[in-house]
Structure 1
């Protein structure tokens, strides 16, 4: 699951100074900023980012607590408000830690601030809040602390509140990059042997264009069966027929599954601009990408079947030499050159899918 980065920018410095940090937060892809009340509208004019303040005009309403009484007061007021509630708690001892845990049952977001950044209080709150609805954030000053926070107890905090005042603007980008790297998924890819290649008539095929540029060896996991997907290569290769389109994967027929973040699959037919899918490389590393455009057109199709340890999987791809799978060496191989007996990279999983979510059940797909 991806971890969020919020940026603290509510210091007493002039707006022009704070503006530099808010702009950097926007450019780095941070999800929210804490700003003074008077900066809410000015921040919105800079770009689309959630605002957090003590003003009712902000997206999230912020309350702060440095003692038990203030925590209890914040809990009481949060229950009477329709606004998403954020409680920032300075955890200075065990009593404040317990009070913060109680608040986790009532507020939407709980930010733990510990003097000199302590790991133990965070571990305790992660354990206490696992069954509550509150999202747990912790205050950090740099990317190194952020990495520790989201890895604590393997579960980690749901996000971090970065105070970049000391570390500087560049720390915002570093923190976002560290969390994105930690959030990358990993797939086991095995070599499936091609057992069948045959024409499959006309069908509606889907090109998935992303807002990211892919490299050689990267593509998307696609297939007709949820428990077995092919690594379909991106159009990063130029040919005498078409120019390279490294943002695109000609992914296959509309009925096929494609892997999305968070262990989910989507049907190719339901993808649209703004959706998230996974870009996967030949080593199995995966990162999320945003769908920019989906092109569905009627084209001649080819049935591809592969086998691994007596398990057979299939997919339908457009019958064109510009479509590639990935061979056992991690190199693209055109389906026009593909032969029975060739080995290509596939991903296998157990169980089935229910609305795109993996479930443990007996399922037969042919």
Structure 2
């Protein structure tokens, strides 16, 4: 995740307020305006002395910037390059050291800066002329987690599973139709469990909530990790997945674990060569709990039936404390 710094030089209160509301990590301003920024919100404030900005228009500039960056890194500091930088010199610098910040005057330049050498600059310095795109920049660089491949799975069985502890994950985000979390008995086969975005005559929608399943189930997290649903707690980041495969971050506001009647849902994905892959998930037996249809439509577990197509993700099994490992393992 990139550090996003807004350059409030010259200081303008309305732009600093916009930056704070957009969720930037730090504000760069004049030394005599630092306290004025701190008065507007709890945020890291940097001055020009703490984040020097250097030109990059010649080979000599590249060498000077590299040396300045290596020196700054000894004290955990950073160096910024003025807008107009070109990719090849930046690649040369990134190949030698870290702690580089790049000034960006638009969303396109910010996305470019974040992806150079598939690693990108450590920090993006958003200039005042990009203030109109600031929220989009923050969303793209801090919330978006790229895309993952989802597969169409065919439901093969829905069976009562007695009482069990289920986990409601209440996020601090308003989720939309088609969004939810990937949950399953195995990290190798997870189901897109839909958020409670739908209303019915008896219960209002809870679009911040994913009634995600039984305590033992795996949940797919950012950074190619997993955890048990029981391990989630307030403040932890979770991966929100859309029916089109796009992913984003959200933060857990609270977790509710309660005993409820459960269902075991089994589905299979057809693989090349006729080798079907099957998986299961345990979900609460209630109308408001939904999986996600192949077209992105939420389907209640109450009306779900064998033969229905839903969205799942298949992967290679093998996790140790949520980290991917290579191991001979079978989960069922």
Same fold (TM over 0.5): yes
In structure 2, what is the equivalent of residue 346 of structure 1? Answer: 312
3-state DSSP class of the match of 1:95?
Answer: helix
Alignment: residue pair count? 324
* Other structure's SS at 2:111 match: helix
State the distance in 2 between where 1:175 and 1:258 align. 27
Moved more, 107-116 or 205-214: 107-116
Match of residue 152 from structure 1? 116
Aligned to 2:255: 294
Matches within 5 A, 1:1-366: 2-11=1-10, 17-53=11-47, 62=50, 64=52, 88-91=53-56, 93=60, 94-100=62-68, 102-103=70-71, 106-114=74-82, 116-129=84-97, 134-164=98-128, 167=129, 169-180=131-142, 183-309=144-270, 310-366=276-332
Aligned to 1:128, the other structure's residue is in SS state: coil
**Helix, strand or coil at the partner of 1:295:** strand
> TM-score scaled by structure 2?
0.89
Distance 1:185 1:145 in 2: 18
CA deviation after TM superposition for structure 1 residue 267, in Å: 2.0
Note closer, same or farther for the CA distance 1:169–1:326 as it changes in structure 2 (3 Å cut).
Answer: closer
Structure 2 distance, partners of 1:174, 1:340, is: 41
Does the 8 Å contact 1:122/1:138 carry over to 2?
no
Deviation at 1:45, TM superposition (A): 2.8
In 1, Cα distance between equivalents of 2:83 and 2:268: 57
2:101 is paired with a residue of what secondary structure? strand
Select the structure with the greater relative contact order (CA < 8 A; seq sep ≥ 6): 2
Aligned-residue offset at 1:225? 0.9
1:3 to partner: Cα distance: 2.1
Q: Distance in 2 between matches of 1:184 and 1:357?
A: 17
What is the rounded CA distance, in whole Å, between the counterparts of 1:171 and 1:281 in structure 2? Answer: 23
**SS class of match (2:180):** strand
What do you get for the CA RMSD once the two structures are aligned?
2.3
Query: Would the aligned equivalents of 1:97 and 1:121 in 2 still touch at CA under 8 Å?
Result: no
Unaligned 5+ segments in structure 2 are 271-275
CA distance, structure 2, for counterparts of residue 168 and residue 148 of structure 1: 14
2:69 touches 2:99 (CA, 8 Å); kept in 1? no
Name the CA shift for 1:115/1:192 in 2 (closer, same or farther; >3 Å).
closer
Greater shift after overlay, 101-110 or 194-203? 101-110
Cα deviation for residue 350 of structure 1 reads 1.0
> Contact conserved, 2:105 with 2:130, CA < 8 A, in 1?
no
Residue segments in structure 1 that go unaligned for 5+ positions in a row = 12-16, 55-60, 65-87
> What TM-score do you get using the length of structure 1 for normalisation?
0.81
Question: 2: distance between equivalents of 1:115 and 1:358?
Answer: 39
